[in-house]
Amino acid sequence: MLIDTYGRVATDLRVSLTDRCNLRCMYCMPEEGLQWLAKPDLLTDDEIVRLIDIAVRLLGIEEVRFTGGEPLLRPGLAGIVERVASLAPRPQTSLTTNGIGLKRTASALKAAGLDRVNVSLDTLRPDVFKTLTRRDRHKDVIEGLFAAREAGLTPVKVNAVLMPGMNDDEAPDLLAWALEHEYELRFIEQMPLDAQHGWKREGMVTAGDILASLRTRFDLTPEGADERGSAPAERWLVNGGPQRVGVIASVTRPFCAACDRTRLTADGQIRTCLFAAEETDLRTALRSGAPDEEIARIWRLAMWGKKAGAGLDDPSFVQPDRPMSAIGG
């Protein structure tokens, strides 16, 4: 079991498979990209599967989410998914992606054992997409979403970040479109995880702003805390249901008290929080021949030291050195 001093138990593992990405989203990384991790620093396929096996078999992990960077850029992704889906007990498996490569990979990932996907799409307007991501790939994402739904990677969830002066007027249109195509839309407040350290609380589009905009066209009924559990998204029934919309308000409505996540970076570091300044190295123990029980012990110790919250409301908060692209969403 992965438990911390506040009694929270981690059952959800987020695994970053690569720090590389084929987009350059304004809220994540600079246009010129970043200094990528050297290949020898990255975990191999066998190392990733072994660590996930330890997490599932010895530490009580029940869900595994593959992230990046962009995880579809990882060679051998389908093989990793297949091996993880074959573990006992079998964890639920999902993938967070920008959707660009889903059209060609969705069916193979489903056949390998992937259960569902989260796809990032911030706008319905191709020109705005090009500005936000610095790439002209809007059509590819739309086609990837369709392929995921057709392959049965459901529920297909769409993640959207609204930026002031860019797409902050699109919330109702995005929701109407998601309802039409049977995707579950979730808005995410912009978080201080950009490589440029350009995030500013002032002027950010908040959960309150998003809900106010949605209510100009839709009737929203809170789903309630019992239904939410440890999920990061607060959800509302749209026009009485059954379809829903979610808002992940990491900044203005933090949900740290119910957090059940632990994170493994592409280079083998454990992060107990997306905003953590500290990491715990598993790669060295793994490559020095440590047995599974010793690696599990290191992981438990890291989890025991997890802080009460992200500290975003603390004036002394220091943005993590690693951008979101390097530690997974």
Query: Residue 244 annotated as binding?
Result: no
- Better-predicted residue by pLDDT, 111 or 200: 111
325 is an annotated ligand-binding site residue: no
> What was the pLDDT predicted at 29?
76
* Range of weakest confidence among 43-52, 108-117, 192-201: 192-201
User: Given pLDDT bands bounded at 50, 70 and 90, which one contains residue 134?
Assistant: very high
Q: Which of the four pLDDT bands, split at 50, 70 and 90, describes residue 45? A: very high
- Residue 140's pLDDT is 97
Give the chain's mean pLDDT.
Answer: 90
Nearest to 114 by CA among 137, 126, 96: 96
39 among annotated binding-site residues: no
The token pair that represents 32 in the structure block: 């010129």
Residue 278 and residue 273: Cα distance in Å, rounded?
Answer: 9
Overall average pLDDT of the 111-123 stretch:
97
Sheet holding 269-271, edge to edge: 220-222, 234-238, 244-248, 184-188, 157-160, 116-120, 92-97, 63-67, 12-16, 261-264, 269-271, 280-281
Is 65 marked within a binding site?
yes
Q: What pLDDT shows up at residue 151?
A: 98
The three-state secondary structure class of 274 is: coil
Given this model, what pLDDT does residue 321 score? 58
If pLDDT is split at 50, 70 and 90, which confidence band does 80 have? Answer: very high
Go through the domains of the chain in sequence order and give each one's CATH number: 2-326 (3.20.20.70)
Q: Do the annotations mark residue 96 as ligand-binding?
A: yes
195-232: pLDDT as tens digits: 545 545 566 899 999 999 999 999 999 987 666 666 78
Strands 92-97 and 220-222: what pairing?
Answer: unpaired
- Reference 263, options 255, 254, 272, 250; nearest CA is 272
Exposure letters 32-44 (e unless 16+ CB within 10 A, then b): eebebbeeeebbe
Q: Looking at the chain, how many residues does it have?
A: 329
pLDDT of 181 > 50? The answer is: yes
Give the three-state DSSP class for 110: helix
Average pLDDT on 70-97 reads 97
Q: Judge whether 25 is annotated as a binding position.
A: yes
pLDDT, residue 192, reads: 64
pLDDT at site 320 = 55
| Annotated binding-site residue? 300 | no
pLDDT at 319 over 70: no
Contacts of 283 (CB under 8 A, 6+ apart): 41, 43, 47, 267, 268, 269
Question: Is residue 262 a known part of a binding site?
Answer: yes
For residue 290, pLDDT over 60 is answered with yes
Beta strands per DSSP E along the chain: 2-3, 9-10, 12-16, 63-67, 92-97, 116-120, 157-160, 184-188, 220-222, 234-238, 244-248, 261-264, 269-271, 280-281
pLDDT tens digits for range 84-97: 999 999 999 999 99
Is residue 21 marked as binding? yes
191 is in an annotated binding site: yes
CB-based contacts of 204-209 (< 8 A; 24+ apart in sequence): 204/164, 204/251, 205/162, 205/163, 205/164, 205/168, 206/249, 206/251, 206/252, 207/234, 207/247, 207/249, 207/252, 207/253, 208/252, 209/162, 209/168
Decide if pLDDT at 141 tops 90: yes
- Whether the pLDDT of residue 177 is over 80: the answer is yes
DSSP string, 223-242: --HHHHTT-S-EEEEETTSS
Is 165 annotated to bind a ligand? Reply is: no
- Has 18 been labeled as part of a binding site? no
Tens of pLDDT, residues 246-277:
999 888 887 888 899 999 999 999 999 888 87
User: Residue 183, annotated ligand binder?
Assistant: no
Task: Write out the two tokens for 94.
Answer: 């999902």
Q: pTM of the predicted model, to two decimals?
A: 0.90
pLDDT at 229: 64
Residue 131, annotated as binding a ligand: no
Instruction: Classify residue 144 as left (phi > 0), alpha (psi -120 to 50) or beta.
Output: alpha
